[in-house]
Amino acid sequence: MELHPRHAWDLTPAEAVTLQRQLRNEVVADQPIDLSAVRLVAGVDVSVKNERSRAAVLVVTFPGFLLVETAVAERPTPFPYIPGLLSFREGPVLEEAFGRLRAEPDVFLFDGMGTAHPRRIGIASHMGLWLQRPTIGVGKTRLVGVNAPLPEEKGAHVPLIDRGETIGAVVRTRTATHPLFISPGHLADIPSAVELVLACSPKYRLPEPIRLAHKTAGDF
């Protein structure tokens, strides 16, 4: 996977925020993903243990979810967890894992937000600038935004709104389970992001690619 690094990662929290305000202007979040052309989907996840972070990128076929490739990387955790600045904690190890990937996934699913972020540049959007390929943010809990009541049935989804702007969707990927917070990362849009996530979640709450990545990243 050819990467397009945009900047160094060793910044102070204040510098990181300034950088996000600059990079946000390059994020494309209104471009549909052609689902009929998707052949490979990647699931991305990072786990942290004892000051060390491990990243796992799992590539699977779509549909079918057959494993095609696994790329991992491990290194010291460089930045504390600060809401809104997750990419500066997980970005470095993810960059290393992406650099080892030979396959060229059509879409990347991230564990975290895309545009559903205070400055509209969550980790899925941020890394999308490195990948220059469609990325989608899949959050398990809310960072920002409000939403109307969501029906209990699988497939139900309502807009996620922040400061008068629709930044994503709250999606039920399984009946009677907590919903997921979906938002476009880069080179994607809300409708297609919701469609792809649902298409990748045939049985469990989390999309198949992310479930697999989570399992691999957690095996220390």
Partner DNA sequence: GCGACAG
Partner DNA sequence: ATCTTGTCGC
Is 178 near DNA (CB under 7 A)? no
Residue of 58, 85, 97, 160 that binds DNA (CB under 7 A): 85
Judge contact between 56 and 216, C-beta under 8 A: yes
Structure tokens at 97: 């894992």
**How far apart, in Å, are the Cα atoms of 120 and each of 114, 184, 185?**
7, 10, 9
Stretch of residues binding DNA (CB under 7 A), selected from 3-11, 99-107, 122-130, 152-160: 122-130
Strand partners, 154: none
Distance of alpha carbon 211 from alpha carbon 13, whole angstroms: 30
Stretch of residues binding DNA (CB under 7 A), selected from 64-72, 133-141, 157-165, 192-200: 133-141
Nearer to DNA, 39 or 140 (CB): 140
Bridge pairing between strands 180-186 and 135-139? antiparallel
Residue of 43, 92, 105, 112 that binds DNA (CB under 7 A): 112
Is 161 near DNA (CB under 7 A)? no
Residue 45 labeled ligand binder: yes
Distance of alpha carbon 168 from alpha carbon 138, whole angstroms: 10
Residue of 38, 56, 86, 182 that binds DNA (CB under 7 A): 86
Footprint (CB under 7 A) of DNA, residues 27-46:
45-46
Token match 């809104």: residue?
A: 84
Token match 């989804």: residue?
A: 157
| Contacts with DNA, residue ranges (CB under 7 A) | 45-49, 81, 83-87, 111-113, 117, 122-124, 137, 139-144, 176, 214, 218
**Known binding residues for Mg(2+):** 45, 111
